[in-house]
Structure 1
Amino acid sequence: MNANLDRSSNVNHHYDAKANSSTLPSVTVIGLGSMGSKLARTFLHSGYVTTVWNRTPEKAAELVGLGASGATEIADAIAASPLLIICVLDYDAARHILEPMKEKLSGKVVVNLTTGTPEEARTMGAWMRNLGAEYLDGGIMAVPSLIATPHAVILYSGSMTAYENYKQVLDSLGTSHYLGSDPALAPLNDLALLSGMYGMFGGFIHAVALVGTEGVKAVDFTTTLLMPFLQAMMSTMPEMAKQIDSGDYSAKDASLAMQAAHDTIGEVSRVQGVSPETFTPIFELMKRRVEDGHGGDDFASVIELIRKRPSS
């Protein structure tokens, strides 16, 4: 049996870094894929007593060699630590692992770093609370290689008590952001950030494809022209955000009517043999907004065509 079995006391009696900085809490990592393994290695490197478990035990071998305690049974992994970090394929997998152990979760802090939807997070949070566990949902805004670097940002929502008690542990993984008590907030913001990322990537590949038709190297175009231009454009986002919050979209520079007057980007794409399908959806929204009588608005006005309407 693991020597840390007696350390699974109620959350309100958990580790207090300020009160006892010489004692580090133990942590269990459930799920040893690329991300889970990196989380476990980070905890080990930071000096935390770390227990690991994976459905395929062989994946724990390297971590055990680094000093982790490898639990062969999920019950032992849960009993080993007051803090449980779970990072698996999806919420169904997390529930499948934890469901048979539900009577052992009371008093535990469960931090779920599995990617999922806001509704899944709310459901999981309610289930955990009913079992007597403190629950945090999380969104990791980083690839495994960035964990424990200044570039790793991890979003958390759910139990504030759990977050405050274990913030020092969580901070070892990257920059922590607590978004509120609703477990849905972390996955919602996670997916919103990814949406912005993929929109940027879509524009990038279209731009590179266009200049590539004339033999321009992607690296040269990106570093010399595209990145400086996009960085300048990103500086306009806070002002666009203010317009969205206020509802005042009055154009200050380039109106939608001017921007959507001609499908020049689509036309040159077709002439150059490049598919315009990453650009067409946003252009169609701009045209619709003009047709609806908002040609004098700034680009941020397009959000009114896609945002959720408040209930009347």
Structure 2
Amino acid sequence: MSDNASTSPSPTPLTLLGLGAMGAALARTWLAAGHPLTVWNRSPGRTAELAAAGARTASTAAEAVAASPLVVTCLLDDASVRETLAGADLTGKDLVDLTTSTPAESRARAAWANERGARFLDGGIMAVPPMIGVPEAGGYVFYSGSRELFDTHRAVLAVPAATRYAGADPGLAALQDVALLSAMTAMFAGARHAAALVADADIDRKAFGVLVADWLAAMAPATAAYAGGPAPEDPTSAAVAEAGDAALLRTAREQGVDTALLLASAGAVEGM
């Protein structure tokens, strides 16, 4: 046996609770990287594919937790995490929660886990399932909580997507996750508003959809300024911008499209 082989660390074993689209994608990447994986899902039928790929399936969440020192949850919501882990012994476990939650929920879950003898790390996934295991796709996961825990498991956590440590406050990953998702949601709402404006016009909808995507991509760098980043050079005067906003509202009314989104956006900008 070579020196490299004798000193190479063994792949970290872990347990994954939750096999929805995201959980299944995470599981496949860990299995492909050689990590011994135990899985559990409320609906057992979702474990078959992963079992064929080498995963060990557990009949209960408690059994799955007992199988590995590192436990990852990727469930529907914070209530699902609490319910799933209610009967599990968390003593000595490292718990990483990748379930979308609020900052307050993440802090409460950290305290809950610590009281049960576990170290806790919260995660906010900035990716969709097809981006998992594809480094060039640009997906990443925010982590917050125990820095020691993050450093201990950073290598295995980096297998599905890049990692970004957000800080010791367990709520910071959720806060940044939800903040970015909120920006995305507003962007999608804007695109739907644009589509509604041209819905009854003689305009090729597919071609217009491409124009919307291209325009949003071109304008994306300017959004950093709203969150404290660098502001782009903009020679537009306040008067011109105000007149433009008024035209947006008049056009929406002419086309019979609800103006609530535009009014809310204008109010948010004025309040900054």
TM range (shorter): 0.7 to 0.9
SS at match of 1:235: helix
The one of 204, 214, 230 aligned to 2:216: 230
The one of 246, 252, 258 aligned to 1:263: 246
Amino acid aligned to 1:109: D
C-alpha change, 1:172 and 1:273, in structure 2 (3 Å) is same
Question: What are the equivalent positions in structure 2 for 1:297-312 lying under 5 Å apart?
Answer: 302-304=270-272
Amino acid aligned to 2:216: L
Q: Which residue of 1 is the match for residue 120 of structure 2? A: 135
The structural deviation recorded for 1:81 is: 0.8
Q: Which moved more, 1:117-126 or 1:71-80?
A: 71-80
SS at match of 1:39: helix
Q: Which residue of 1 is the match for residue 3 of structure 2? A: none
Amino acid aligned to 1:167: R
- Distance in 1 between residues matched to 2:226 and 2:102, nearest whole Å: 27
Answering whether residue 88 of structure 2 is matched by residue 106 of structure 1, we say no
Q: Is the 8 A contact 2:124 2:173 kept in 1?
A: yes
Q: TM-score, normalised on structure 2?
A: 0.87
Give the CA RMSD over aligned residues: 2.4
Q: Name the count of aligned residue pairs.
A: 263
Q: Which moved more, 1:155-164 or 1:68-77?
A: 68-77
Answering whether residue 41 of structure 2 is matched by residue 54 of structure 1, we say yes
Gaps in structure 2 of 5+ consecutive residues: 1-5
- Distance in 2 between residues matched to 1:236 and 1:59, nearest whole Å: 43
Q: Is the 8 A contact 2:143 2:163 kept in 1?
A: yes
Q: Which residue of 2 is the match for residue 10 of structure 1? A: none
Q: Which residue of 1 is the match for residue 23 of structure 2? A: 36
The structural deviation recorded for 1:258 is: 3.7
The one of 168, 171, 174 aligned to 1:184: 171
Q: Which residue of 1 is the match for residue 158 of structure 2? A: 171
Answering whether residue 196 of structure 2 is matched by residue 209 of structure 1, we say yes
C-alpha change, 1:46 and 1:210, in structure 2 (3 Å) is same
Answering whether residue 103 of structure 2 is matched by residue 121 of structure 1, we say no
SS at match of 1:145: helix
Question: What are the equivalent positions in structure 2 for 1:44-83 lying under 5 Å apart?
Answer: 44-83=31-70
Q: TM-score, normalised on structure 1?
A: 0.77
C-alpha change, 1:240 and 1:76, in structure 2 (3 Å) is closer
C-alpha change, 1:145 and 1:33, in structure 2 (3 Å) is same
- Distance in 2 between residues matched to 1:198 and 1:233, nearest whole Å: 16
C-alpha change, 1:20 and 1:139, in structure 2 (3 Å) is farther
C-alpha change, 1:20 and 1:274, in structure 2 (3 Å) is farther
The structural deviation recorded for 1:29 is: 0.5
The one of 164, 171, 185 aligned to 1:198: 185
- Distance in 2 between residues matched to 1:53 and 1:227, nearest whole Å: 39
The structural deviation recorded for 1:254 is: 2.9
Q: CA offsets per residue over residues 73-126 of structure 1, 9 Å max, x none? A: 33321121111011111111111121222xx21221101011111100000101
SS at match of 1:279: helix
Q: CA offsets per residue over residues 237-288 of structure 1, 9 Å max, x none? A: 34454489xxxx9x963344442346211211222233333223223x17xx
Amino acid aligned to 1:237: T
What percent of counterpart residues are identical? Answer: 39
C-alpha change, 1:214 and 1:176, in structure 2 (3 Å) is same
Gaps in structure 1 of 5+ consecutive residues: 1-18, 287-298, 305-312
- Distance in 2 between residues matched to 1:199 and 1:91, nearest whole Å: 24
The structural deviation recorded for 1:178 is: 0.9
Structure 1 stretches of at least 4 aligned residues deviating more than 4 Å after TM superposition: 239-244
The one of 259, 263, 267 aligned to 1:280: 263
